[in-house]
Chain A
């Protein structure tokens, strides 16, 4: 991500953000709410157009002014877990997870369902497979949203405030899960205001302030 400037109306949200994340790296974007963490993720995901700069994900390049057709191109490279989950309200949990594998990637439904169930098991919500999103607790919805994002197996996964609706024990579990994803070759960018969580899992913690990103010390 190079020199990205993003404006909403008259307000300058990102003022020339440059950021490089290597394959297999887990990077945390830290900072209080409202400093532009979510906007950075949305710009990378192609959900939000920006006025100048470029975003590159592997061999795909997203230029200023391109949107939202870019989203579909990026879709196969980038997954995103939203702070407010945004599960499909009319579909049960299991179908939320297998919808994209079946309809986008053409995986047979039986196979996609099996993998969806496995993912829900890994995330500890397989008992909620038949529930509707409105019947889930915040923590359950969070984990279903992660399962849905993982179901299409994106090389780059963006997570926006993933710990917002989790308690202490669940936070540790999530940290372990994210690290195992990275070990399997995925690249993760996590936006969070939870410093303890960030330090527990990230290779690198970046601070976001007033629409800019500042490098911190290197972590192992």
Chain B
């Protein structure tokens, strides 16, 4: 141990002693992965200079790079994909408030824990007295960041306490949804909760912690040599107080850290997760076991996908027919308005439309997530459907319409007896195509916390640290939905063809 410590000091000294520039330039850069969307105090684009990163993870990465006599090079990776990127080799080490979980310890070379955090409940000020623990929140909606320990705790709490877990892609919207009443509580790291508490008012952070875990650096299992060097550097930084200095600078130093550092330096084992109201997080589960565990939730998520797609398509078809009729038969003002609608819906990303519908207008109309998702998809697809119907209506020859009019048919009869039926046959194939596309586009609504198939798969993949089994299962489920659809459409096409022959 003494030798090791001396070695660590030596590494550190060398790192600091040499004015990095000359030697660091000759060494390969240390590629480290983080997600600036996670924001301060972890990794954040400097508000005054967006090209520069700040945050305690940034400073720790620089500290490690200096210790290795290398230059830190930041790789921007989505938070939920950091594990996979490390496995792929996009970056050597992930540092972005990454949590210490049994799965990571089993599948990766993880560093010693460098910061201890508490999972805390946040509730609206008015509920502070009655919602103190998960058990108090039976039947209530609790939000958190997907793919985190907090989410895993909420999933277990769904079974044990009957709460409803709601997964978010970021840590900003859970708190705004809590304040407006879409959620009754948020479970997240105290670091995140306290940061949000400084800018959002109306909620209280409960003092009692639900669980305790740590942030770690994550490296590929094959990189255990590098991990050992990183551990030496981290221990050195704990010993000489440089780590404390970094955390104090970012306002997150507390007594828990002193205790954690003492345990790490003494070589005592630190469990990945502790507390969690009696829940057992001690062991990592195998991929197949996890698949069995997750399969029912994937099926449930598939049902959400099917229900959402069918309802959205039905609404899109009705709206599309209305828009197309207005564009073909309406006066010039109506035509201009509807053309504007179609161009705006087709010309802007559906993701943006979903955000505006759910968060943008939340102050005025607070749509439930599923309703916002349904409406967003329907409004967007209505624009595409209307174009199909419009071109199909216009494809029916003018001569037939004139023949119908001269036989005495009213405009309405011309549409319902002559023009509509022919246009519908022309529109059927492109409509089927759109329905299959909608089925897959419905995955976008996960940004509104709707837990559909793709999102559930992503959570599954994040939790077991691999995309292979979840990816295959997810693909199989999508195909099980889209193939019968395509077959049904072919059958309908054949039937209409046969009926007229």
Contacts and interface: CB of A to CB of B under 8 A. Distances in A.
Contact of B407 (A68, A89, A104): A104
Contact of B410 (A72, A86, A89): A72
Given A90-B421, A104-B413, A152 B405 contact: no
A100 B500 contact: no
B400 A88 contact: yes
Nearest to B402: A47
B274 to A, nearest CB: 71
Nearest to A89: B422
Contacts of B487: none
B409 interface: yes
Nearest to A45: B406
A194 B501 CA distance: 35
Contacts of A145: 403
Nearest to B413: A103
A91 B397 CA distance: 14
B279 interface: no
A113 to B, nearest CB: 16
A148 interface: yes
A100 B405 contact: no
B399 A100 contact: no
A132 B501 contact: yes
Q: Report the interface size class on chain A.
A: 20 to 34
Interface string A76-103: 1011101010111111100000011001
Contact of B425 (A45, A46, A90): A90
Contacts of A92: 500
A86 B417 contact: no
Contacts of B406: 45-47, 71, 74-75, 78-80
Contacts of A132: 500-501
B408 interface: yes
B304 interface: no
Nearest to A84: B399
Nearest to A145: B403
B405 A72 contact: yes
B427 to A, nearest CB: 13
Contacts of A91: 500
A89 B402 contact: no
A152 B407 contact: yes
Contacts of A68: 405
Contacts of B422: 88-90
A100 B421 contact: no
A122 to B, nearest CB: 19
Interface residues of B, number: 20
A145 B399 CA distance: 12
Contacts of B413: 103-104
A172 to B, nearest CB: 26
Contact of A89 (B400, B405, B409): B400
A42 B422 CA distance: 25
A72 B425 contact: no
A75 B425 CA distance: 28
Contacts of A72: 405, 408-410
A104 B399 contact: no
B481 interface: no
A76 to B, nearest CB: 6
Nearest to B411: A72
A89 B423 CA distance: 11
A146 to B, nearest CB: 12
B392 to A, nearest CB: 12
B498 to A, nearest CB: 12
Interface string B392-436: 000001011011111111100100011001100100000000000
Contacts of B500: 90-92, 132
Interface in B476-501: 500-501
Contact of A82 (B399, B417, B418): B399
Interface of B: 397, 399-400, 402-410, 413, 417-418, 421-422, 425, 500-501
30 contacts: A46-B406, A47-B406, A68-B405, A71-B402, A71-B406, A72-B408, A72-B409, A75-B408, A79-B407, A80-B406, A84-B399, A86-B402, A86-B403, A88-B400, A88-B403, A88-B418, A88-B422, A90-B418, A91-B500, A92-B500, A99-B407, A99-B417, A100-B407, A103-B413, A105-B408, A132-B500, A145-B403, A148-B407, A149-B407, A152-B408
The 9 A-B pairs at the shortest CB distance, nearest first, are namely A75-B408, A86-B399, A100-B407, A104-B408, A86-B403, A71-B405, A90-B422, A80-B406, A86-B400
